[in-house]
Structure 1
């Protein structure tokens, strides 16, 4: 059985556009997913990337065309300029980490819930009430927003270090532990699917 480490930032539009395809692929191949939310901006700093605010205008212009193209292709709603972006990723990331540790709910749905909140629902994922609502909506105890703070903060930092060590430089980024194969971007999920079929 394959194990996939999924590195993500909860404000990434590309992670949002992945939808539930990773979960469906994993289910098809009997693979497990470990969700590893991290500080995406620090990851850029550590691995030679450029934060969106500092990118050349031509790159941002292309991004402004490409995101709606993909959203239309995938039939997913997308607000190109969300009301709450950029926003502090830590609180939602801590909630994901705590929920994954606790179990009992739909962790894939939780991740997608936070991403959808940013890119389709104009919600602030750093807001405590929003975090509690998204946790509850996916079968988790809303109190994880509080109780998971310590372990969440510790694991959040460790996820960044693990990402750098694993050669991760963006999000979404999928690493198959058994083979060491890496897949960067929601547009590489078909390749991940094909790779898992070959194991």
Structure 2
């Protein structure tokens, strides 16, 4: 079965703007998704990227305009200057890892709940109460926020190393494992959809 490795950050606005379209595409084509939260700042540092606050003014201004445009296009609310950004993405990332290991809920919904919390709901995803609420919303046991923290840290670090090794340089980033076809950004999901459709004809 073809599967997709999904590299993302729980505080990325563009991951938020992806919504649950990846899950819809995967269901349509009968493919699986491996959810791999990464330390996006570490990825930037090792692949030539720059955190938003350190970019030149023209790039910062364009980014804000693009966020507003893409949010309107997708019908998603957004605050381009949220109260809790940047924040520490590690705790929410560990929760994603724990949820993936435990099963029983909807990982796509969990990722979207975390990113929506930052970019629409003015909540801090480094806060334990917010993490628990997102887990519960996505059908997971809220107590997962307290479990497997060491394993979560190790897998989060390993995901980041893997991302750099496989050519990931931003988030969200999608890799079709069968042939290492790569797609960067929520605005490339349509291309991913088309690629999977074409691949199925081979």
Settle same-fold status: TM greater than 0.5. Answer: yes
CA distance in 2, matches of 1:64, 1:112: 20
1:10 corresponds in structure 2 to 10
- Please tell me whether residue 32 in structure 1 is matched to residue 22 in structure 2: no
Give how far 1:148 is off: 2.4
Deviations 1:119-147 (A, max 9, x none): 00000100001101110111111111111
- Please tell me whether residue 195 in structure 1 is matched to residue 202 in structure 2: no
2:91 corresponds in structure 1 to 91
Write out aligned runs for 1:94-133 (5 A).
Answer: 94-133=94-133
Q: CA RMSD in A?
A: 0.6
Write out aligned runs for 1:32-181 (5 A).
Answer: 32-181=32-181
Provide the secondary structure at the position in 2 that maps to 1:33.
strand
Structure 1 segments, 4+ long, off by >3 Å, are: none
2:23 corresponds in structure 1 to 23
Provide the secondary structure at the position in 2 that maps to 1:143.
helix
CA distance in 2, matches of 1:74, 1:52: 22
CA distance in 1, matches of 2:148, 2:141: 11
Deviations 1:141-178 (A, max 9, x none): 11111112111100000000000111000000000000
With normalisation by structure 2, the TM-score equals 0.97
CA distance in 2, matches of 1:196, 1:63: 29
CA distance in 2, matches of 1:52, 1:148: 31
Provide the secondary structure at the position in 1 that maps to 2:142.
coil
CA distance in 1, matches of 2:129, 2:150: 19
Deviations 1:18-40 (A, max 9, x none): 00100000000001000100110
With normalisation by structure 1, the TM-score equals 0.99
CA distance in 2, matches of 1:73, 1:53: 25
CA distance in 2, matches of 1:53, 1:74: 25
Gaps of 5+ in 2: none
CA distance in 1, matches of 2:146, 2:171: 26
CA distance in 2, matches of 1:128, 1:198: 43
